[in-house]
Amino acid sequence: MRYFLLYVILFSCFILQAQTVSQDTSATRNQQRNAAQNILNGTNSKGITLGAYAEVHYNQPEALNGELDVHRIVLLMGYKFSDRVQFVTEIEYEHVKELYIEQAFLNYNLNRSFNIRGGLMLVPMGIVNEYHEPTTFNGVERPFVDKSIVPSTWREIGIGLTGTFDDLSMRYQAYLFNGFASVNDDKVLGGSNGLRNGRQKGAESIINSPNLSFKIDYYGLPGLRIGASGYFGRTQAENDLQSIAGSDVGISMFGLDARYIRKRFSARGQYIHALISDSNLYNSLNAADLGSELRGWYLEGAYNLLPTSKQQRLDAFVRYEDYDTHAATAEAGIDKNSAFDRTALTFGLSYHVALGAVVKADYQILDNAFQGSTLPNQFNFGFGIWF
């Protein structure tokens, strides 16, 4: 609770400061669009739109071997059938050897305020799950909160509505998705990565009860964007297991996030809290260690060291994260593992050498609450592109 209060106080400071400043051109860098939105808002009257984003990383933990990795290359393709009907897909290669479909949906545009969308889509929770192109966030790797609490990249098959009310400075999304798999091949939920193993990713996904997901974004204050999101439902179990107690769990996830930018300064933060019901029965059935609560938050500030007159940017940033996949375990029938209560301090540079190309370097100081535990700190270096 003390972390949540700290977040609310700093979150309020962003709002108060934003109310006292005038709009400037730097606000256009507030990551209002992701790759799919760029395709949907393209100027082509009809036909194909192509694009891509990619990341290459070098990770060097202290006193351990380093790792070099073509982390991902994502091919973006869209087709505009008419002014109302568009198709968007992202084909992702990870670590040179793994192939995924990240998005594949059909969008029907009635007007700016009302779009019907169906297919494989991103779950709108937090910031990075939707805005994960490498030029849109600081740090070589994505924040830990957006890996272990929000299991980015989190996408499932569903249908829903989305649109923008310009008079209210508000964008909304509301979807029905299939849920996490209770057991995904031989992987169970729990441990250090929470719900991550349950992502079905649109690959022969099972569904026995739809899950509700929604997000509202407000952008009425200069340079500031505020988001509130929710996700409610249950995990999905195989046909022959549905009647067994503990074959699924209930999930209620809530999120708050904010992004702010004024001239050379930018900041962002988010808070995510997930409540898991029936985790005691699930753990007993599957010999798992899923907590009854997952919680995480981070705050980040950045400052552009180059004059605003230059197209290039050199953002020096610092981010502090606190995240726990065993935030509560009493109702889960297991002991709390304090090694899952973690913090990360990340600081470094993001050099935007051109619009759509960035070179990054950072250092991470990692810790957890397990007495006597020592985690290796890590240096990261890499580059990313998006066009």
pLDDT bracket for residue 149 (50, 70, 90):
very high
Residues near 69 by Cβ (< 8 Å), separated by ≥ 6?
Answer: 56, 57, 58, 59, 95
pLDDT value at 41 more than 50: yes
For residue range 12-26, list pLDDT tens digits in order: 443 333 333 323 333
Q: What is the arithmetic mean of pLDDT over 37-51?
A: 80
* Separation of alpha carbons 310 and 55, rounded Å: 24
> 38: pLDDT confidence band, cut at 50, 70 and 90?
confident
Read off the pLDDT of each residue in 81-93 and give the average, rounded to a whole number.
95
The pTM for the full model equals 0.89
What is the model's pLDDT at position 44? 64
Per-residue exposure over 180-213, b if at least 16 CB sit within 10 Å of its own CB, e if not: bbbbbeeebbbbebbbbbbbbbbeebebbebbeb
Give the pLDDT score at 43: 59
Predicted local confidence at residue 33, as pLDDT? 81
What pLDDT is stored for residue 13 in this prediction?
40
Tokens of 130: 């939707």
Regarding predicted confidence, which is higher, 135 or 43? 135
Q: Which of 8-12, 155-159, 212-216, 224-228 has the lowest mean pLDDT?
A: 8-12
Domain 2-386 grouped into CATH 2.40.160.10: yes
pLDDT at 51: 95
Residue 39's pLDDT band, with cuts at 50, 70 and 90, is confident
Note the pLDDT tens digit of each residue in 270-296: 999 999 999 999 999 999 999 999 999
The three-state secondary structure class of 338 is: helix
pLDDT tens digits, residue range 353-366? 999 999 999 999 99
Using one digit for the tens of pLDDT, what is the confidence trace for 337-358?
999 999 999 999 999 999 999 9
Q: How many CA atoms within 13 Å lie on the side-chain side of 265?
A: 10
Confidence band (pLDDT; 50, 70, 90) for 137?
very high
Query: Distances in Å between the alpha carbon of 128 and those of 131, 172, 284?
Result: 5, 17, 33
pLDDT at residue 32, as a whole number: 65
* pLDDT surpasses 70 at 31: no
Six token digits for residue 298: 């981070």
pLDDT band at residue 10 under the 50/70/90 scheme: very low
CA distances from 387 to 49, 80, 276 (A): 11, 18, 39
Q: Is 95 left (phi over 0), alpha (psi -120 to 50) or beta?
A: left
The predicted model gives 50-62 an average pLDDT of: 97
Please provide the average confidence, as pLDDT, over all residues in the chain: 91
Closest of 323, 383, 322 to residue 349, by C-alpha = 383
Question: What percent of the chain stands above pLDDT 90?
Answer: 85
Task: Please report the pLDDT score of residue 6 as a whole number.
Answer: 41
Contact at 8 Å (CB) between 128 and 146?
yes
pLDDT, residue 36, reads 86
Residue whose structure tokens are 């990565």? 193
- 154 burial class (0-12, 13-18, 19+ CB within 10 angstroms)? buried
93 has pLDDT over 90: yes
The angle formed by the CA atoms of residues 48, 172 and 319, to the nearest 5 degrees, is: 90
What percent of the chain lies above the pLDDT cut of 70? 91
Residue closest to 309 by CA, chosen among 30, 20, 21, 24: 24
**What are the structural domain ranges in the chain?**
2-386
What amino acid is encoded at 246 in this protein?
Answer: G
Nearest to 83 by CA among 103, 105, 104, 111: 111
Angstrom distance (rounded) from CA 221 to CA 219? 6
Contacts of residues 372-376 at CB distance under 8 Å and 24 or more positions apart, as own/partner, are: 373/339, 376/61, 376/62, 376/63, 376/64
The confidence score (pLDDT) of residue 45 equals 63
Strand intervals (E) in 169-309: 170-177, 183-184, 187-188, 211-218, 224-234, 250-262, 265-277, 293-304
The values of phi and psi at residue 3, to 5°, are -70, -40
Identify the H or E element spanning 158.
Answer: strand 155-165
CB atoms within 10 A of CB 359: 15
Question: How far apart (Å, rounded) are the C-alpha atoms in residues 178 and 342?
Answer: 30
Distance CA 3, CA 297 (A): 8
- Closest alpha carbon to 249 in 179, 145, 324, 152: 179
